[in-house]
Amino acid sequence: MAVVDPVADMLTRIRNAYGAHHNDLVVPCSKMKTSIAGILKEEGYIADYAVEDRDISITLKYADGKPLVTGLKRVSKPGRRVYVGASDIPRVQNGIGICIVSTSMGVLEGAKAKEANVGGELLCEIW
């Protein structure tokens, strides 16, 4: 059975793995999901990721036994795309979280997209 929304599937797998206190998980590979994993590592939400054949292996990160990711929200969906301009990129949880935007410069974290003055499709929010 084909997955209709691969990014939402990845976010759900991460949410479920944190909820079950797993140390790592595997998701099917794509360029967008690899970019999202890179942003999550760069921002400190996951410990590491590695691309192996057709899968991405993600190592989760905990602080004092509690997950660093407390919430994941898919904003733009296949049935309803959400586009934002550079000035309309939202602050997530009053600056505590991040948003991920697919721009013409690639997949960027919201603050970096705003800094580069580019907008695009608002993929998800993470806090």
pLDDT value at residue 3 = 84
Cα–Cα nearest to 23, from 14, 32, 31: 14
Helices and strands (DSSP H and E) totals, the chain: 3, 10
Average pLDDT, the chain: 96
Task: Provide the number of structural domains found in the chain.
Answer: 2
Spatial separation of the C-alpha atoms in residues 91 and 45, rounded to whole Å: 17
pLDDT value at residue 9 = 97
Are residue 15 and residue 62 in the same domain, yes or no? yes
Are residue 58 and residue 102 in the same domain, yes or no? no
pLDDT value at residue 121 = 98
For residues 56-75, give the mean pLDDT: 95
- Within-domain flag for 32: yes
- Within-domain flag for 1: no
- Within-domain flag for 116: yes
Are residue 46 and residue 79 in the same domain, yes or no? no
Q: For residue 103, give its domain range.
A: 72-126
Reply yes or no on whether the pLDDT at 2 is more than 80: no
Cβ neighbours of residue 47 closer than 8 Å, sequence gap 6 or more: 41, 59, 60, 61
Cβ neighbours of residue 64 closer than 8 Å, sequence gap 6 or more: none
- Number of residues that make up the chain: 127
Reply yes or no on whether the pLDDT at 1 is more than 80: no
- Within-domain flag for 93: yes
- Within-domain flag for 111: yes
- Within-domain flag for 103: yes
